[in-house]
Structure 1
Amino acid sequence: MRAGKWIGRATCLAAVIAVAGCVAQYRLHGYTPSDEDLAAITVGVDTRDTVAEVIGTPATSGVMRNDAYYYVSKNVRSYGMKQPETIDRQIVAIRFDEAGVVTNIERYTLHDGRVVPLSRRVTGSNVDDVPFLTKLFGNVGGLDFGQALGN
């Protein structure tokens, strides 16, 4: 009788552990200021410094130009063995003019479907129609490989 009771408890414990492994887990990454915090910023009056004092320094600022602060956060749900899923993404963009005064405050969410380029990795095409060996040996001792070949 004792073995049956022990097997029943072990089975119950295994079932509890199996069910606990299927509980969704949520992870919040980043920071976006609340609407109350953003209400403390006055468009046309506040500057980069006052924005940093009121809501903190952003994780990212303008990429090509220093014309905006970007505050980014996302909430990711992991459920069992499934691929993690982003269930919420928020981007707050605070834009500045040339003098560093706030011109606009925008909030984007995952559902807006708008893409904000936070980083650009574009290399310009400065490849001329120059042969490979000319480029390779062009700077070695002032040697013009094209002249050496008679071109």
Structure 2
Amino acid sequence: MSNISTLMKSVMIGLVLLALGACAATYRNHGYIPTDGELDLILVGVDTRETVASSVGRPTSTGVLADGGWYYAQSRWRHHLYKAPQEIERQLVAISFDGDGVVENIERFALEDGQVVTLSRRVTESNIRGVTFIGQILSNIGNFDAGQVIGEN
């Protein structure tokens, strides 16, 4: 009788530990942004689209115009049991090029409390172009309602 009691206690403890482990949040990363070390290898005013592509890779997003910049976006999501996934971090790296395809600006942005925050900036001139476009990218990633697409709202 003692062996059955010990076995039942062990099984119950195992089930409790399994249930507690299932309550832990999981995290997922989406997208890719180059690290600061990789961005330090890119020289503003020297490197071209080809050298940037070979050192950090091509982005998934580019500017609308032919001379537009390259945009690397990354977000981190927390998934917790029955709750909807929550985005806890979003960053964007923007590399802009001049008309000759030479790196003009390298900027890193984040979204904190609904506001676009500049984390770092390496600029060859004081005129920053495209910040509103970057703001739109950061504020709209993940803000999607399927009901709007199919016309339920």
- TM-score of the superposition, structure 1-length normalised? 0.70
Report the counterpart of residue 115 of structure 2 in structure 1: 113
How many residues are treated as equivalent by the alignment? 119
**Structure (1 or 2) with the greater strand fraction:** 2
* Bigger CA radius of gyration: 1
**Which runs of 5 or more structure 1 residues have no equivalent in the other structure?**
120-151
Instruction: Note the C-alpha offset of 1:73.
Output: 1.1
Report the counterpart of residue 41 of structure 2 in structure 1: 40
Instruction: Please tell me whether residue 20 in structure 1 is matched to residue 21 in structure 2.
Output: yes
| Cα RMSD, aligned residues only | 2.0
Q: Quote the sequence identity (%).
A: 40
Whether contact under 8 Å (2:67, 2:101) holds in the other structure is no
Whether contact under 8 Å (1:91, 1:107) holds in the other structure is yes
> What pairs with 1:44-59 in structure 2 (closer than 5 Å)?
44-59=45-60
Whether contact under 8 Å (2:47, 2:102) holds in the other structure is yes
Cα deviation code 1:13-57 (max 9, x no counterpart): 210111010112111111110111111111111111111111111
Instruction: Note the C-alpha offset of 1:3.
Output: 3.4
Query: Which aligned segments of 4 or more residues in structure 1 are displaced greater than 4 angstroms?
Result: none
Deviates more, 1:108-117 or 1:72-81: 108-117
**Which runs of 5 or more structure 2 residues have no equivalent in the other structure?**
117-134, 141-153
Instruction: Note the C-alpha offset of 1:87.
Output: 1.5
Deviates more, 1:81-90 or 1:47-56: 81-90
Report the counterpart of residue 77 of structure 1 in structure 2: 78
Instruction: Please tell me whether residue 88 in structure 1 is matched to residue 85 in structure 2.
Output: no
Pair 1:65–1:116, CA change in 2 (3 A): farther
Counterparts of 1:69 and 1:62, CA distance in 2: 6
Report the counterpart of residue 97 of structure 1 in structure 2: 98
Whether contact under 8 Å (1:67, 1:98) holds in the other structure is no
Counterparts of 2:79 and 2:137, CA distance in 1: 26
